[in-house]
Amino acid sequence: MILTGVLLAVLGLGLVGWFAARGRARLLYTGRGSMHSMPAYHGWHLALWIVVPALVAWLVWQAVMPGLVQGAVFATPAAHGLPTDPFQLGAIVAEAQTIASDPGAVAFNPEAQALVEPFRAAQVKFGLIGAVIVLIVAFAGGAFGFTRIRPNFKARTHVERLVLGVLLAASLLAILTTFGIVASLVFEAGMFFKDVSPIAFLTGTHWSPASTMGDNINNNFGAVPLFWGTIYIGAIIAMVVAIPLGLMSAIYLTQYATRDVRKWVKPLLEILAGIPTVVYGYFAALTVAPLIRDFAASLGMANPSTESALAAGLVMGVMIIPFVSSMADDALAAVPRAMSDGSLALGATRSETIKKVLLPAALPGIVAGVMLAISRAIGETMIVVMAAGAAANLSANPFASMTTVTYQIVQMLTGDQEFNSPKTLSAFALGLVLFIVTLILNIVALRVVKRFREAYE
């Protein structure tokens, strides 16, 4: 409470400092060229000197205060006779702490109730100390900054240097995220591979992580059926739908449609890409899957399952159409007009020009687009969770229920999970495989696209 107020006070001080420094700088300003920086920059400079160190002090205090408070509470007489078992002690302290900050709550544990008052007192005391420290730092920073206001002081340079530092930090967040992904996946997957051999995981064909049967745990974590399901649904069925439809749509829109048609149809197609995957999943489960099951039954299949690779793959393919179409659109647009002019001038029809000249010329771009589409399809989760099924089947029958890597990740990490059991950790191992595969697809595809663009520039 007190500390929040202090934060506002510091910001207020910063504002005051801004005006004060600008006013002071204005007094020093005697005319054109008399100062290095405009008065406003002196304002910013001082404001930063007030706010930034105080903010740092505030953060440090936020971090150390709970320890100090707890120490003080344990030193009071009320804390005598508390249980020594760390688990019980922790529960009591936590409860007391909650009540101390929330006047409405009632204690369940009398020992906790006894601690509430000492807690409140300690919090107020250390809060006040913290506030004073933060304010002192703010004033000290301000005073130092204020003394630097001189005509030849390069306030602007200092402020801009800080701005640049902030910009740089923001860009590094991307690297940090990548690093975080790699580190957490590798770490958790490493724990998994302590129990299960990587070879067995990557080459085994039996997947039943829940089963406790058999003494060799390696036999239960063969992920090949998962990889197959992922490839079959995402890279085969979905692409059989998405490539022809997406490519032909792009061809029609770029080569045949009038400008008005293009203007309306393109955004409509893009809506397909904007629909959340959970909606597709629901649609697949509610409408498409039963249709496919009935179709399978009419083909004479016994007991076709509602969940099928075909239902998930079909719907996923539709979701990918606009993606393929916009990549193909870009690739076709990158082929210089002179190319098709040359063919048309020889008396080729449009379709001959497209098939024999444009598509071959655009091929690298289109292939890269398909790679990105596959990367997106195999990482897609909700559609397969809702329509593909949990059975780890190693089958080429599109009407069979099939499971995927993403499905199993969800399966392993929702519901009752035992922390750090091989079952839970296997999700991270699967995630690692998925990350590596999509990373390779993405990087290769982006390279190809870049080369392709440069070739025609």
User: Which residues inside 401-440 make contact with other proteins, applying CB under 8 A?
Assistant: 406, 409-410, 413-414, 427-428, 431, 434-435, 438-439
Is 276 near other proteins (CB under 8 A)? yes
Is 1 near other proteins (CB under 8 A)? no
Name the residue nearer to other proteins (CB basis): 129 or 231.
231
- Least Å distance, CB 168 to other proteins, is 6
Site for other proteins in 328-357 (CB under 8 A): 336, 338-352, 354-357
**Is the separation of the CB atoms in 225 and 394 below 8 Å?**
yes
Grouping H, G, I as helix, E, B as strand and the rest as coil, residue 205 is: coil
Name the residue nearer to other proteins (CB basis): 125 or 161.
161
- Least Å distance, CB 286 to other proteins, is 7
For other proteins, the binding residue among 327, 328, 368, 372 (CB under 8 A) is 372
Is 156 near other proteins (CB under 8 A)? yes
**Is the separation of the CB atoms in 351 and 306 below 8 Å?**
no
# residues contacting other proteins (CB under 8 A): 103
Site for other proteins in 382-401 (CB under 8 A): 382, 385-386
For other proteins, the binding residue among 75, 291, 333, 446 (CB under 8 A) is 446
Cα(432)–Cα(440) distance, integer angstroms: 12
Note the helical H segments in 148-288: 155-195, 198-203, 224-230, 238-251, 259-274, 277-283
Name the residue nearer to other proteins (CB basis): 299 or 338.
338
Name the residue nearer to other proteins (CB basis): 143 or 440.
440
Beta bridge partners of 207: 221
Is 302 near other proteins (CB under 8 A)? no
Cα radius of gyration rounded to whole Å, the chain: 32
- Least Å distance, CB 42 to other proteins, is 15
- Please calculate the CA angle 113-114-120 and round it to the nearest 5 degrees: 85
Is 252 near other proteins (CB under 8 A)? yes
- Least Å distance, CB 81 to other proteins, is 29
Is 42 near other proteins (CB under 8 A)? no
List the structure tokens of 389. 């099924």
Characterize 294-317 residue by residue with b for buried, 16 or more Cβ atoms within 10 angstroms of its Cβ, and e for exposed: eebeeeeeeebbebbbbbbbbbbb
Report phi then psi at 18, rounded to 5: -60, -50
For other proteins, the binding residue among 268, 416, 454, 457 (CB under 8 A) is 268
Cα(45)–Cα(41) distance, integer angstroms: 6
For other proteins, the binding residue among 111, 188, 307, 329 (CB under 8 A) is 188
- Least Å distance, CB 425 to other proteins, is 11
Is 259 near other proteins (CB under 8 A)? yes
Q: Return the closest-CA partner of residue 21 out of 213, 150, 160.
A: 150
Name the residue nearer to other proteins (CB basis): 174 or 302.
174
Is 105 near other proteins (CB under 8 A)? no
Contacts 24+ apart (CB under 8 A), 27-32: 28/149, 28/150, 28/151, 29/151, 30/151
